[in-house]
Amino acid sequence: MKKNPLIVGNWKMNYTVAESLSFVAAFLHEMKAFGDTEVIIAAPFTTLYSLGVALSETTLKIAGQNLFWEESGAYTGEVSGVFLKDVGCSYVIIGHSERRQFFGETNQTVHKKIQAALKADLLPLICVGETLEERERGETLHVIERQLKEAIVDIPLSKIATGAIAYEPVWAIGTGKNATPGQAQEVHAMIRDWFARKGDTRTAESLRLLYGGSVKSTNSRDLLAQKDIDGALVGGASLDAKQFADIIRSLP
C-alpha cells in the first residue's frame, strides 16, 4: 500500500516567534516543492499561531510537541488538544522520550493523551524507544511491545493508523549516535508485525512508521531507504533550513 512519506521537524525548546518566521522563509526558499511528502513542524507553543498564519498558503503543517488530557480546567501551565487545534495544528507529538525522562511521562499518561488528541481531531505522533541499558540487555523488542500495548490499549488501531508511530531509541536522541539502518529496520518491522497481529494487515501496512534519533542529512538516505521506515522525526537538524531540506530530498 502506497503511503506518502512523513517528515516531522521537532524544534523542541528553540526559536522565538521572529526566529521561527525567519526559519520558515529560509526553508521555503530552499525547498519550494515537497512532492508527495508530508512535512510537519512541531514548534514551541508560543510560536504556533504565528506559524499557522504564515504557512496557511503552503502545504506545510504544524504540530504541538505535547498536550494535556483534559480539555480545560485548573491545570496551570498545561495546553489542551482544543487549544492546539484552535491555532491550526494538525498533529501532536505524544510520549517523546524527553517527556518521559524529564517530566514523568508514562505509558499510562501517553494513553490518556492519545485519547485526548483523537477527541480534539488531532493526529497522534506516538513515540516509543528503549534506553541504552535495555538495548544492551537485549530487551529492545520487548520494551517497544510493552510501550505499544499499554499506550494504545482499547483504542481502535484504525485511529492510531491515522497518525504515526515514531521509533526513537533513547540512547540516540541528542547524542549524535544513531541506530544503524539495520537496527532501525528490525524495530520498525517488529512494530508493523505487532499491528498486523493485533489488527489486520491493511491497517498495519497503512501505518506510517518514523525513525527518530540524531537523524541528519548525512545518514537520512540510508535510514529512509529501509523497507519499513516511512519517514523521520528530526530533532536538531530540523533547526537548520538547508539540512532539513536535504533530509527531505534524501527520501527514495
The set of catalytic residues is 96, 168
Closest C-alpha among 16, 13, 21, 23 to residue 239: 23
* DSSP result, 152-190: STTS-HHHHTTSEEEE--GGGSSSS----HHHHHHHHHH
7: three-class secondary structure by DSSP: strand
Under 8 Å CB-to-CB from 216, ≥6 apart: which residues? Answer: 178, 237, 243, 247
Q: Is 5 exposed, middle or buried (0-12, 13-18, 19+ CB in 10 A)?
A: buried
Torsions phi, psi of 207, nearest 5? -70, 130
Give kind and range of the element (H or E) at residue 119: helix 107-119
Q: What is the distance between the alpha carbons of residues 80 and 235, in angstroms, rounded to a whole number? A: 23
Supply 104's cell numbers: 514523568
